[in-house]
Amino acid sequence: MFRYFAHGDLYLLIHGTESPDDATWDRYVDALGRADRPKGFLKILVLTEGGGPTGPQRARLEAVTVRGDRPAGVSSAAIPRFAVSVIALMNRSIRSFAPGDFDRAVEFLGLSADERRAALQQIESLKREGSLGALRVLDETLASALV
């Protein structure tokens, strides 16, 4: 399961434990490719329970991203955090955070109070809706952000 939301130059991605289906991923990639970058980059906040794009999906994503785009991955799962750490060795504009470090991710991305609020509202809404199932990363992120 996978969902994404845009709020200005902030993109919020929520992954479950599986890779997204191609149709949903391609809609996200298309939106990212058409996005305005008023500051020269996008702020991309990714919360994942462990799922992520497949190799071919990553290739489609790389075709539309700009070097300055700034992604922050939030997960308690070891594999995505390790993968982001390896990428960060070559690309300093990407970082990985534990769900309890949500505010550090917000600071890294440079989110405004409005962007932070919009992201938390979407996370809370998805949790209530339950369409992605019970995702620990949502619970842990909300618990740390609402303290």
| Residue ranges covered by each domain of the chain | 2-145
How many C-alpha atoms does 112 have within 13 Å on its Cβ side? 7
Query: What is the per-residue pLDDT for 81?
Result: 56
Query: What is the per-residue pLDDT for 145?
Result: 81
Q: From the CA atom positions of the chain, what is the Rg in Å?
A: 14
The domain over range 2-145 is classified in CATH as 1.10.260: no
Query: What is the per-residue pLDDT for 138?
Result: 82
Mean pLDDT by 10 residues, the chain (147 residues): 90 89 94 85 89 87 84 78 55 79 92 93 86 77 76
Query: What is the per-residue pLDDT for 117?
Result: 92
Instruction: Please answer whether residues 8 and 115 qualify as being in contact, where contact means their C-beta atoms are separated by less than 8 angstroms.
Output: yes
In angstroms, rounded to a whole number, what is the distance separating the alpha carbons of residues 14 and 25? 12
In angstroms, rounded to a whole number, what is the distance separating the alpha carbons of residues 110 and 101? 14
In angstroms, rounded to a whole number, what is the distance separating the alpha carbons of residues 61 and 11? 13
Query: What is the per-residue pLDDT for 113?
Result: 93
In angstroms, rounded to a whole number, what is the distance separating the alpha carbons of residues 26 and 21? 9
Report yes or no on whether pTM surpasses 0.85: yes
